[in-house]
Amino acid sequence: MITSLLIPDLHVDSIYDIDLVQLKQRGVKGIITDLDNTLIEWDRPDATPELITWIKELKEHGFSVVIVSNNNETRVSKVAEPLGVPYIHQAKKPTKNAFHKATRGMGLSVQETVVIGDQLFTDVLGGNRMGLYTILVVPVAQTDSLITRFNRRLERVALNWMRKRGKIPWED
């Protein structure tokens, strides 16, 4: 059923709340992460000092990282390249192609990879369709681009529907 594909395996307030030791214990070796409103605000041009530190910490823990974004190459490369992180732009999430490309690029299996993102209909749905472990984060900004605002409205409807049926294991 489609609702099960919209439920993340984990929900956290921010990327900084993800327990990296616990991920390693799960056998995770690679992280596919969204960019806008997951790592930094959708309208912030560069990585924050906190994000730079977090990416370094991921690498120190031995994780491979790929940014997978529906945004354009100019936007994604401006953040990813200074961080030394490979990226896939115009990913067309929730289709599986970019997720397949990212796991292949890291040389990892589905079981060794997690997806981190702030949207149900792109990050969580796409990751769950592939059988990846999905982590939903609260968006870092309260504003969104026009297309994302539309997605957020649909997301609220879906969340309310799932909440009424007891399918959401977290509190807002």
pLDDT tens, residue by residue, 52-94 = 999 999 999 999 999 999 999 999 999 999 999 999 999 999 9
What are the residue ranges spanned by the domains of the chain? Answer: 2-164
Q: Cα–Cα distances in Å, from 105 out to 62, 96, 108?
A: 16, 14, 8
Query: Distance (Å, rounded) from C-alpha 25 to C-alpha 119?
Result: 26
Mean per-residue pLDDT, 16-23? 96
Query: Distance (Å, rounded) from C-alpha 98 to C-alpha 118?
Result: 17
Q: Give how far the C-alpha of residue 23 lies from the chain's centroid of Cα atoms, to the nearest Å.
A: 15
pLDDT tens, residue by residue, 109-146 = 999 999 999 988 899 999 999 999 999 998 887 765 65
Helix, strand, coil in percent for the chain, rounding step 5? 45, 15, 40
User: Residues 9, 18: contact at Cβ < 8 Å?
Assistant: no
First-residue to last-residue Cα distance in the chain: 23
Query: Distance (Å, rounded) from C-alpha 33 to C-alpha 171?
Result: 23
The CATH code that applies to domain 2-164 is: 3.40.50.1000
